[in-house]
Amino acid sequence: MSGVFIRNVHMRFGRFVALEDVSLSVAPGEFVTLLGPSGCGKTTLLKIISGFTVPTSGHIEIGGEDVTQVPPEKRDTALCFQSYALFPHLSVNDNLEFGLLNKGMARGERGQRIDEVAAQLALELQLAKLPNQLSGGQQQRVSLGRALAMRPKVLLFDEPLSNLDAKLRDQVRIEIRRIQKSHALTAIYVTHDQAEALAMSDRVVVMNAGRVEQVATPEELYHAPRTSFVADFIGNANVIDAAVLGEDKPGLWRLQTELGQLQARSAAPPRAKEIRICWRPEAAELDGTEAQSIEARLTHRSFQGHYTDLFLDKEGCEFRILVPQVHADVGDLLRFTLAPEKIVLLEPVA
Ligand SMILES: Nc1ncnc2c1ncn2[C@@H]1O[C@H](COP(=O)(O)OP(=O)(O)OP(=O)(O)O)[C@@H](O)[C@H]1O
């Protein structure tokens, strides 16, 4: 088992800074996702870990060894791309076997590995076909199978499920996770799909414009985002500005906001006098027992099945709440409560 250590990596393309001082430690057997919007540097970082790109400065360690200058084929990693990079003249079976042959694996074991991944990825009936006789989703699964069959110390994935339909994507996600866990492989997975990142990962690295915004478990990212970027990128959040007035009791902060004075509970003190705060739409309660309440006008409602999405406005400050049931019409004034524990203190206002 090998961990990956990324230390102070910078990457410049000419004058453009693609990665700025990125550091990250991935434990052996851990599944870590790089998540962020298009162009934030996820693929560049993955290419640096796999050895296809050498960083402008900084270091990569795999299994305790500095591999920054080691070529990709000499690192025990397998990279599974979004574009499949299959050998067009080889059958599916031979594509899956290629890396195993290069590794010098015995025939019996090769056959066993291929049968195993073919079954896991529902490719048993495709083994004799050539890549151009497969659908896009099947090609993507062959590419994935090729990486999984190798069982390298570190598995690297770049949006490997982008061409699968929703149902197959769910199944393959579970398979990837099962194989990775059962062989205790270290995995680094790139996606811009936050639902995928939350569902699959031990920890998620949220990236923004070449920098790491936050590294945390999915639960932590959702409930305790550190910045408004993270709060907004992971699920839905109401983000507003607040001025810190003081500490009413230890860990209970009084804030002045557009919604009036609010109390927020946080063991860590606010990072400045003027900060952003957020809360999740489902954190508010209509008819709640909490003393801290807010009155606002309903501007739109959208029925979602087991809950209703309410859009509210208080003197120009707009926000959303999710409630299980509501008997109110657009234009009505609604009172809802918001517990201080549900309000998260974010970064200083720039
Ligand atoms: N070889 C290169 N030369 C110049 N600029 C590059 C090069 N490779 C990447 N970049 C730039 O670096 C930035 C990060 O690219 P990268 O592919 O890492 O983004 P990403 O987060 O993976 O995006 P996506 O989700 O769209 O794949 C982009 O602005 C891209 O244009």
ipTM of the predicted structure? 0.96
The residues, ordered by sequence, that sit 6+ positions from 303 with a Cβ below 8 Å of its Cβ are 309
| Number of other CB atoms surrounding residue 276 within 10 Å | 20
- Please tell me whether residues 221 and 246 are part of one structural domain: no
> 330: burial class by Cβ within 10 Å (0-12, 13-18, 19+)?
exposed
Q: What are phi and psi of 308, to 5 degrees?
A: -125, 135
Q: Whose CA is nearest to atom 6 of ligand 1?
A: 13
192 in contact with ligand 1, CB cutoff 6 A = yes
Atom of ligand 1 nearest to the CA of 36: 21
Confidence check: pLDDT of 326 > 70: yes
Task: Specify the amino acid at residue 92.
Answer: V
**In the listed set 195, 228, 261, which residue is the last one of a domain according to the structure?**
228
**In the listed set 183, 199, 228, which residue is the last one of a domain according to the structure?**
228
39 in contact with ligand 1, CB cutoff 6 A = yes
Atom of ligand 1 nearest to the CA of 41: 18
| Number of other CB atoms surrounding residue 290 within 10 Å | 14
Centre of ligand 1 to C-alpha 155, Å, is: 21
Confidence check: pLDDT of 288 > 80: no
- Looking at per-residue pLDDT, the higher value among 130 and 144 belongs to 130
pLDDT of residue 73: 84
Percent of the chain predicted with pLDDT > 70: 99
Q: How far is CA 158 from CA 37, 38, 152, in A?
A: 14, 13, 16
Identify the domain containing residue 37 by its residue range: 4-228
- Please tell me whether residues 299 and 192 are part of one structural domain: no
In the block, tokens 């890549």 appear at 131
Of 141, 150, 151, residue with least CA distance to 183: 151
Centre of ligand 1 to C-alpha 42, Å, is: 8
- Please tell me whether residues 283 and 342 are part of one structural domain: yes
Q: What are phi and psi of 71, to 5 degrees?
A: -65, 160
Q: How far apart, in Å, do the first and last CA atoms of the chain sit?
A: 43
Centre of ligand 1 to C-alpha 210, Å, is: 9
- Looking at per-residue pLDDT, the higher value among 220 and 1 belongs to 220
43 in contact with ligand 1, CB cutoff 6 A = yes
- Looking at per-residue pLDDT, the higher value among 203 and 235 belongs to 203
- Please tell me whether residues 207 and 116 are part of one structural domain: yes
- Looking at per-residue pLDDT, the higher value among 185 and 22 belongs to 22
pLDDT of residue 80: 84
Confidence check: pLDDT of 208 > 90: yes
Strand 31-35 versus strand 186-191 pairing type: parallel
What is Dmax (Cα atoms) for the chain?
73
- Please tell me whether residues 201 and 261 are part of one structural domain: no
**In the listed set 203, 228, 253, which residue is the last one of a domain according to the structure?**
228
- Please tell me whether residues 180 and 243 are part of one structural domain: no
pLDDT of residue 2: 83
Centre of ligand 1 to C-alpha 5, Å, is: 22
Are 18 and 180 in contact by the 8 Å Cβ rule? The answer is no
Centre of ligand 1 to C-alpha 41, Å, is: 6
- Please tell me whether residues 92 and 40 are part of one structural domain: yes
71 in contact with ligand 1, CB cutoff 6 A = no
Domain CATH for 324: 2.40.50.100
Domain CATH for 161: 3.40.50.300
d(CA 54, CA 315): 53
- Please tell me whether residues 286 and 264 are part of one structural domain: yes
pLDDT digits (tens, 9 = 90+) for 255-275: 999 999 999 999 999 999 999
Q: Whose CA is nearest to atom 31 of ligand 1?
A: 39
pLDDT of residue 46: 95
pLDDT of residue 164: 80
pLDDT digits (tens, 9 = 90+) for 297-314: 999 999 988 899 999 999
- Please tell me whether residues 56 and 126 are part of one structural domain: yes
Confidence check: pLDDT of 1 > 70: no
- Please tell me whether residues 167 and 20 are part of one structural domain: yes
- Please tell me whether residues 36 and 181 are part of one structural domain: yes
Our count of domains for the chain comes to 2
pLDDT digits (tens, 9 = 90+) for 151-196: 888 999 998 888 788 888 888 888 888 888 888 889 999 998 998 9
pLDDT of residue 144: 86
Whole-model pTM over 0.80: yes
Question: Quick one: tokens of 196?
Answer: 């995928």
- Please tell me whether residues 214 and 327 are part of one structural domain: no
